[in-house]
Amino acid sequence: MSMFQSASDVHIEGSTFNNTRDQTNIGRDLIIHNSNNALFDLLKGHIVPDAAYNSKARQAEYATTCQPETRERVLRDLQDWARRDDDEAVCWLYGPAGSGKSTIAHTIAEQCGDKLGASFFFSRGKGSRSVTTGLLPTLAYQLATRVPPLQVLMRRALQSDPLILSQTLNDQFRKLIVGPILAINGPLPRMVVVIDALDECSDEDLLVEVVRLLGDAFATARQLPFRFLLTSRPEEHIRNAFARPMTRSKTYSVALQDFPARDDIRTYLHSQFVNICSDHEVYLREVPKPWPSSAVLEELVEKSEGLFIYVSTLVKYVGQGDGLPGEKLEAVRRINPGIDPL
């Protein structure tokens, strides 16, 4: 049974939590008797489980972390930002399509471990993952799971105002997340919240509002224990949202193109071709080694033009499905750079 189930009419006066079978002690002054907490019942019809970084839906889309020994510089930069205690509580990682932003975001979410407060990965054309409707309820749900006292306070907020989830994004954020967080007197763990692929959200105006409300929230409530990592292509409406003075002052901007990917792509290709050789040993037994040759590997690195989507699609094509890997690789070499022919 989860801590704080069915507690109501509670003000949190401390941050030491001890859970026993029938009651929860909070600090020195408050005891909550456990019964059936309805918070998750209130939220569950509004959340988007498939948007979490580690959902089965994303696994089916081949979502994964960065290959070992790749993207080390940008990952280190983002990890350093997450640990800092400064005013730049929002990080905007931006880069062109196919440059690996979602994989980097997935890796950061994975590396955060229990410091990950919540995650939401937008995906174009994927229903509730392509709109803002479920964004804040989903983040609230995950945060309440991470910080048990929030279960009590969010439940009270929803019972006091049952229409919160149909209100503006600003009111949802203020009443369902910021208010309950600030009602907890005492230190809270620093949490990273990852929101990936803003450009894949079809609600452009509402998405701009999300960026704006984050800037406003950290300007007025610096004690919020969050670091928000947002990723996107540098599309005009998103650039304009981050250019707003209030938001810009709270944002650490990271241009992915400032981190050259050629060496990382070479490392990735080498590792993936080793795996293909292992998986297709019978078919590749007579192929001269190393396969492919260093010259062919460099040719593929050049064709990628720094885009991981090209090489990841290439190795899936060569290593999976019908046909001989060697023949499929030669077919790729005969076409122009790009992923469409694959």
> What digits encode the pLDDT tens for the residues 243-282?
999 999 999 999 999 999 999 999 999 999 999 998 988 8
Evaluate the omega torsion of the peptide bond into residue 49 and state whether it is cis, within 30 degrees of 0. no
What does the CA dihedral 156, 168, 187, 191 come to, rounded to 10 degrees?
A: 120
pLDDT at 321 (0 to 100): 86
Domains of the chain are 42-258 (3.40.50.300), 262-333 (no CATH)
CB neighbour list of residue 240: distance below 8 Å, 6 or more residues apart: 208
Q: Is 261 helix (H, G, I), strand (E, B) or coil?
A: coil
pLDDT at 256 (0 to 100): 97
pLDDT at 132 (0 to 100): 97
- Distance (Å, whole) CA 81 – CA 186: 24
Greatest Cα pair distance, the chain, in angstroms, is 75
C-alpha distances in Å from residue 5, one per residue of 34, 38, 43, 137, 158 = 5, 8, 14, 19, 15
The tokens for 129 are 């993952």
49-153-7 Cα angle (round to 5): 100
pLDDT at 1 (0 to 100): 37
- Distance (Å, whole) CA 282 – CA 166: 59
The parts of the chain modelled with pLDDT lower than 70 are 1-37, 336-342
Q: What distance lies between CA 311 and its chain's CA centroid? A: 22
pLDDT at 28 (0 to 100): 35
pTM, two decimals, is: 0.85
Taking only the tens place, the pLDDT of each residue in 33-52 is 332 357 788 998 899 999 99
